[in-house]
Amino acid sequence: MGIVIRQSLLSSAASYLGVIIGFVNAVILMPKFMTPDQIGLFRTLLSAALLLSCFGRFGVNSGLVRYKSLLKNPKKELKSLYGMGVIIVFFASLFFLIILIIFRNSWADFYAEKSADVNKYFILLIVLTLELIVFQFLQTLANINKNIFVANLLKDLIYKSLNMGGILLFAASIISFHTFINFHIGFYIVMIGILFFESIYKHKIKISFKLLPPKITRELIYYCGTLFISGLGLSFLNLADQQLVSRYLGLEASGIYMTAIFMVMVIEIPRRFVGEISIPIIAQAFGSNNLDSINEHYKKASINLFLMGGLIYLLIITNLDNIYLIMPEGQIYAAGRNVVILTGLAKLINLLFSLNDGIISMSKYYHFNMVLTLFLGLIMIGSDTILIPRYGLIGAATALLVVFTFHGLFKLILLKITYNFFPFTGKTLLGALTILGVFLINYFIPILVNPFIDLLLRSGFIIIIFLISIYKMKLSLEINQIINDLANRLNINI
């Protein structure tokens, strides 16, 4: 876990700084200077681009990670593996582009009734999608070489800083809202250029279009196709609700819903980083048949992610009243209060199941991942289609919570049956009781009139109580080590 912790901490530090900027953007600046409809339009376009980008990626990201560990002659074959990845992405993106243009009218009909403004940005949506495909491919090359920091610095800090600049230009009436949206094409061009330099030039990653042995080529394409279907299902799980809220409830409701979703996205940041650096390690362990190492990694990741996510979840839900009081037009966005609670719980449960997806995708049972994830993705769409028109935003949040819980449980059962992997220990139960206990203690903290002061003092108290509790119970050796190192540097006896 050493390299995992180091890389994850570096990326987490940049990302949580980005979270601060993102919080200011989404909770302060955008509600102050933009209408909920404008926020809904902006978020819908970005969400749609993320959803569509999985068609162009075609599972290549995981395919490169997996097959790198299986190459018999890495020095010669790795360049060809990268080249094969470029070829697959190119033709998948071209096919996706042709299909999207052919069915443009059907795409327009999807948003026509409640969110017709989305259709004005069809070309921009295509360009953003292609940029995301390129950026994510370069990010994969960086991840394979166990260098996740720069890509995440760009994605989580630089992008949000550029976005803040765009919002401020719009607020000052220097640019229009239309120009603000179009600026994001330029943002991604800048980030792709920097990541290209970092992934290809600086680290001397070479790409060759000399074909791999036919057997490996066939297996790679088949594996990528399988992962594509799985990734499509995962995209449905993560993004379908946002698009369907725009379709059924309109852009104003979408702005409220996606602002609530943004508040809880921070909970999953540790999982993303641990997953990015862990997948190559898991692939290598499968290659050497070191199953005990994977199971141990699985358990450590589960408790560490659960505790980190639990603390973030506590800080969010115990400060919701303060957040809405601080937020411009907070009385409007407070309609998403229960969405924050339910979707935040869904994200926390997802952390509890740790590296389910990554482990299965690197194993010989990756077919089950495809079938199960696609099935649950379709269930998510079906649930949203039924619940959103009837129950509104709460319907979308409830569907997310239920489907994500089953998503984790089914994959947990698969790993238990096939490899006897199991992430939970007695510490998991103690961690859950600690989260619940600190949440109940929150009700005994007096409410201060000033929301800023209340947020700071309440958050500080919760952090101290939570960290002391998990430290004394020794729920995580890694977290205890970090606390000990920090205490030693500050000359504090604990």
Rounded Cα distance, 468 and 480, in Å: 10
Q: Which two tokens stand for residue 38?
A: 């404008």
Tell me which residues of the chain have a pLDDT lower than 50.
1-2, 4
Rounded Cα distance, 211 and 84, in Å: 7
- Tell me, yes or no, whether 119 lies in a domain: yes
Give the total number of structural domains in the chain: 1
- Tell me, yes or no, whether 99 lies in a domain: yes
Rounded Cα distance, 134 and 138, in Å: 6
Report the amino acid identity of residue 363. Answer: S
pLDDT (0 to 100) of residue 6:
54
User: 263, 341 in Cβ contact below 8 A?
Assistant: no
User: 407, 380 in Cβ contact below 8 A?
Assistant: no
- Tell me, yes or no, whether 444 lies in a domain: no
Rounded Cα distance, 128 and 56, in Å: 12
Summarised one tens digit per residue, pLDDT across range 257-293 is 999 998 898 888 777 767 766 777 787 788 788 888 8
Rounded Cα distance, 256 and 31, in Å: 10
Which residues fall within 8 angstroms of residue 314, CB to CB, at 6 or more apart? 435, 438, 439, 442, 462, 466
Rounded Cα distance, 13 and 7, in Å: 10
- Tell me, yes or no, whether 451 lies in a domain: no
- Tell me, yes or no, whether 289 lies in a domain: yes
> pTM of the predicted model, to two decimals?
0.81
Rounded Cα distance, 408 and 406, in Å: 5
For residue 291, what are the domain limits? Answer: 2-424
Rounded Cα distance, 337 and 330, in Å: 10
HSE value, Cβ hemisphere, 13 Å, CA-based, for 49: 27
User: 37, 245 in Cβ contact below 8 A?
Assistant: no
pLDDT (0 to 100) of residue 1:
46
- Tell me, yes or no, whether 126 lies in a domain: yes
- Tell me, yes or no, whether 175 lies in a domain: yes
Mapped onto helix, strand or coil, the DSSP state of residue 444 is coil
pLDDT (0 to 100) of residue 11:
62
- Tell me, yes or no, whether 480 lies in a domain: no
What's the burial of 24, exposed, middle or buried (CB within 10 Å: 0-12/13-18/19+)?
A: middle
Rounded Cα distance, 70 and 171, in Å: 53
